[in-house]
Amino acid sequence: MNGLVEKKLTTKLVNVKESQAGELIIKMRRGNEENEYAWAGYRADIYDAELEFRQSEFGWTQDQFDKYWDNGGEEKEIKREINATVEIYNDEMMWEELKNMEWSRENLLC
């Protein structure tokens, strides 16, 4: 070993915005690199997953879920998913995969 200590990089959230097309754009930084993750249809995806989870795990009715969702649940679950996405890309291999994705925001809108 040559005495150099390899610094472990971590992925940090830079910002989040919603495009005019309704996709969630999650901008992240790892070291000096920045990447964006675009999630089209995120609201419906999160809604459907949470509804299914709460119905199967807790026996919630649609009405119970809608009350939860409309009283802060939507924002809470979206934030949780954003944090989970950043955590997924905190792994070096996943970060490299994100860097090498062969899509652009323009392709998502087609």
Q: Higher-confidence residue: 101 or 56?
A: 56
pLDDT score for 53: 97
CA angle 108, 91, 83 (to 5 degrees): 65
**Contact call for residues 50 and 36 (beta carbons, < 8 A):** no
Q: What is the mean pLDDT of residues 14-23?
A: 95
pLDDT score for 101: 74
pLDDT score for 98: 86
Residue 106 pLDDT greater than 50, yes or no = no
